[in-house]
A and B are shown apart, each in its own frame.
Chain A
Amino acid sequence: GQSLEQPSEVTAVEGAIVQINCTYQTSGFYGLSWYQQHDGGAPTFLSYNGLDGLEETGRFSSFLSRSDSYGYLLLQELQMKDSASYFCAGSPSPGGATNKLIFGTGTLLAVQP
């Protein structure tokens, strides 16, 4: 089956750097997206990797290695407002028969002062 595993919780201090890992167990994913969700609200798109390597978007960076079935989200200069749940999501090939996202188990990030 298709599954994406993440650590359930991560704690870090304000100003630090934190990495949230995502490993997956299927060959059916083309790209990996990352979403942020505050207190059960609307998930917000953060980053997408359609190619292997590092993508940088401000304080957030995301990495993908298809050969290792592994990706991560890197958050720099942590702020209190970054406390939230973070989900990786696998997506199929562009132009394929479906467009669904398969979400990971989620990581609850707690930023402490």
Chain B
Amino acid sequence: NAGVMQNPRHLVRRRGQEARLRCSPMKGHSHVYWYRQLPEEGLKFMVYLQKENIIDESGMPKERFSAEFPKEGPSILRIQQVVRGDSAAYFCASSPLMRAETQYFGPGTRLLVL
């Protein structure tokens, strides 16, 4: 049973470009979460999605960031016009139903903005 998959594992972008991060949840999981981790810091919640619905986006910056979880295919975290401050590790997690206490994390995408 494959775990949470994220790609790419590393992504380099220049300021002003767009970054697209993909996440495929564990089989049977319909709840996806995105977290951001800056170096030497904890994980910060960004957004919580179910299939075709954004449930909680209270941690998402109001501009340039968007997320989706379509009926078919992976969840996508999109960052437009990236800036150096967007450089971080972005982790996706999934859970079955609404069991928040057990979220399974992917390996993360390390975004570096030059």
Binding site for B on A (CB under 8 A): 31, 33, 35, 40-45, 48, 50, 87, 91-92, 94-95, 97-106
Beta-carbon contact of B48 and A99 below 8 Å: yes
Tell me the bound Cα distance from A92 to B56 in angstroms: 13
Q: Are B104 and A100 in contact (CB under 8 A)?
A: no
Report yes or no: A42 in contact with B33, Cβ–Cβ below 8 A.
no
- Which chain A residues lie closer than 8 Å to B107 at the CB level? 41-42
Once the chains are docked, how many angstroms separate the CA of A87 from the CA of B93? Answer: 15
In the complex, are the beta carbons of B33 and A101 less than 8 A apart? Answer: yes
Interface pairs A-B: 4 shortest CB-CB: A48-B101, A98-B56, A99-B100, A103-B42
User: Which residues of chain A come closer than 8 Å to B106, judged between CB atoms?
Assistant: 42
B94 smallest CB distance to A (angstroms): 11
Q: In the complex the two chains form, what is the Cα distance from A44 to B106 in whole Å?
A: 9
Q: Report B's interface with A, CB cutoff 8 A.
A: 4, 31, 33, 35, 37, 41-45, 48, 55-56, 58-59, 89, 91, 93, 95, 98-108
Q: Is the CB of B42 within 8 A of A101?
A: no
| Complex Cα–Cα for A35 and B45 (A) | 15
A11 CB, min distance to chain B CBs, angstroms? 17
The answer for the CA separation of A103 and B46 in the assembled complex, in Å, is 12
Chain A residue numbers with a CB within 8 Å of B95 are: 99
A–B pairs, 30, beta carbons within 8 Å = A31-B100, A33-B102, A35-B105, A40-B37, A42-B91, A42-B105, A42-B107, A43-B43, A45-B102, A45-B103, A45-B104, A87-B43, A92-B100, A94-B98, A97-B55, A97-B56, A98-B55, A98-B56, A99-B55, A99-B95, A100-B33, A100-B48, A100-B56, A100-B59, A101-B43, A101-B100, A103-B43, A103-B44, A105-B42, A106-B42
